[in-house]
Amino acid sequence: MKRHMKRISAPRTWALPRKENKFVTRPYPGPHKKELGTSLEFFFKVMLNTVKTKREVNHLLQTQEVLLNGKRKKDRRTPVGFLDVIAIPKAKEYYTITLNRDGFLDAQSITAKEAVQRYCKLVRKTPMKKKVQLNFLDGTTLTVDDAKKYALGDTLVLSIPEHKLLEHIPANKGSKIIIYAGTNRGTQSTIKDIEGKQVIFEKDGASISTKKEYAIAIA
């Protein structure tokens, strides 16, 4: 697999000046959809703007403990993406990857207390012998005894790194959401209504509808 890609062909969610430097580092294949993922190098060089070169990224990853969803990572091409949690304990820095109002992947600073959990959207249920496997948007899985209480599209808050269920957030009227796909990507709002497979929410004073599958409930 090629280590680089042309900037002009990079996902639209990457906040990159398309005419500066011809190439950008390609992340390893990962669990996130192309538009919702990037590399650790991009996280440090572009989102945080704390390093300038690949050498500086490599030095940081080798000399500091950088945790992705609770697990240490040392490779700059490690894939990271939407709602992942990145912690640098020694520096007391904690972040989650979100989407800003312009629809670009962005790093949002969070507290150490917030960094021990992550939000996962339920997209599929897989029956097993005596249990059910819950499959989430980011590739995470969780095995439960009773899955009836969880509807597709709901959000489950899981502990880091144990993946224990901490909270269940249904995607219902009144739920706070982030739109992560479509023309309204990056919008944070509240569900005003649900009509079939569409959610209705308010944006800049106007009622907007989008596919329910494009939204994740966060509260």
For residue 72, give the nearest of 91, 87, 90 by alpha carbon. 87
Q: Domain 176-217: which topology?
A: SH3 type barrels. (2.30.30)
For the cut 90, the answer to whether the pLDDT of residue 125 exceeds it is yes
The predicted-structure confidence for 9-57, as pLDDT tens digits, reads as follows 788 999 987 666 778 889 999 999 999 999 999 999 999 999 999 999 9
Contact 144, 136 (CB under 8 A): no
CATH of 115-169 among 2.40.50.740, 3.40.190.10, 3.30.300.30, 3.30.930.10: 2.40.50.740
For 204: left if phi > 0, alpha if psi spans -120 to 50, otherwise beta; the answer is left
Residue spans per domain, the chain? 4-112, 115-169, 176-217
Strands (E), 67-197: 67-68, 71-72, 79-81, 85-88, 93-99, 105-109, 117-127, 132-136, 141-144, 155-159, 165-169, 176-179, 188-195
Contact 187, 179 (CB under 8 A): yes
Q: What pLDDT band is residue 5 in, cutting at 50, 70 and 90? A: confident
Residue identified by tokens 């403990």 is 65
User: Which runs of consecutive H residues, i.e. helices, occur in the chain?
Assistant: 40-42, 54-63
| Cα dihedral across residues 151, 156, 80, 128: positive or negative | negative
Token pair, residue 142, equals: 């969780």
Calculate the average pLDDT of the chain. Answer: 95
pTM of the model as a whole: 0.93
DSSP-derived 3-state class of residue 116: helix
For the cut 70, the answer to whether the pLDDT of residue 1 exceeds it is no
Question: What percentage of the chain carries pLDDT values higher than 70?
Answer: 97
Q: Domain 4-112: which topology?
A: 3.10.290
Task: Write down the pLDDT at residue 19.
Answer: 61
